[in-house]
Amino acid sequence: MKFDKNRYKVYTWKNGMMLHWVLNPGVVINDLILGQKVSKIILEDKTIDKPRIERTFIPCPHCETIHDARTWSLQNGTILKNWFGLYCKSCGKTIPCMNNGLSLIILAVTFPIWGWFKNSLKAKWLAKQPERYKNIELELSKNPFGKKTWIKTGLGYGAIMFLIMSIGFPYFEDHEITLKSLTVGIVVWTIFGLIFGYTMKSYMSKRGDKVDKNVTE
Ligand SMILES: [Zn+2]
């Protein structure tokens, strides 16, 4: 699928944020358990004078429909449970998504268990999808990293990372969990969460480049 390079900036796994989805072992929770997915290709329209979250698009390689990325959002109830990929409501197929490294390893090791059911699971999942996308409202999909929400979202992300990195991993790897390691964890992940939230806020609210130059604020 070809894209108008003058209009769209094309993001693939080579982009830092997308690479994070592949490399961060914590993402395995989002990926395998929650079914939160990131498309392999994300487009950013450079020409629209709106915050980035409103000019981010996801193309379907099967029917070439360019979907507003907010089709898959918390508000629409479509951000999770996308285990088999992002469902395209135009053609009924799934848009290929990025694979987290640890997820791939876990899937490969457990393949003998779930491999048998893969096709029937996917068929069942696919059958449920049209209903989920019947009443998608893009305007409802507010930016989780908006002016008032980035702190909450950032701290929430920090809390999840704390649970995984300071409790989950040490527990399974048989490392000692002490008051000191927990305190350090809380401090580190709180700061990390806030930086993450703020970075995402700045990122998501960035307006189109071409328009920026003409606007004096
Ligand atoms: Zn499609």
Each residue's pLDDT tens digit, 195-211: 999 988 888 888 876 65
Using a CB cutoff of 5 Å, list residues around ligand 1, an ion: 60, 62-63, 88, 90-91
Percent of the chain residues past pLDDT 90, beyond the cut = 61
Is the predicted pLDDT of residue 157 greater than 80, yes or no?
A: yes
pLDDT at residue 169, as a whole number: 86
Highest mean pLDDT among 157-161, 166-170, 187-191: 187-191
Q: For the whole model, what pTM was predicted?
A: 0.76
pLDDT at residue 215, as a whole number: 45
CA of 48 to the centre of ligand 1 (A): 23
CA of 95 to the centre of ligand 1 (A): 7
Query: pLDDT tens across 35-87, in order?
Result: 999 999 999 999 999 888 889 999 999 999 999 999 998 888 999 999 999 99
CA of 96 to the centre of ligand 1 (A): 11
The position carrying tokens 């918390």 is 74
CA of 67 to the centre of ligand 1 (A): 9
CA of 36 to the centre of ligand 1 (A): 19
Average pLDDT over residues 180-187: 95
CA of 87 to the centre of ligand 1 (A): 8
Which tops the pLDDT comparison, 35 or 26?
35
Average pLDDT over residues 27-37: 91
CA of 209 to the centre of ligand 1 (A): 29
CA of 11 to the centre of ligand 1 (A): 19
CA of 103 to the centre of ligand 1 (A): 25
CA of 170 to the centre of ligand 1 (A): 42
Please state, in angstroms and rounded to a whole number, the distance separating the CA atoms of residues 35 and 86. 10
Of 151, 165, 162, 160, the residue nearest 196 (C-alpha): 151
Please state, in angstroms and rounded to a whole number, the distance separating the CA atoms of residues 133 and 137. 9
Residue 94: other Cβ atoms inside 10 A: 20
Of 97, 80, 86, 200, the residue nearest 143 (C-alpha): 200
In this structure, which amino acid lies at residue 45? D
CA of 39 to the centre of ligand 1 (A): 13
Span of 10-14, 23-27, 103-107, 141-145 with lowest mean pLDDT: 141-145
Phi then psi for residue 9, to 5 deg, are -95, 130
CA of 196 to the centre of ligand 1 (A): 32
Please state, in angstroms and rounded to a whole number, the distance separating the CA atoms of residues 138 and 21. 24
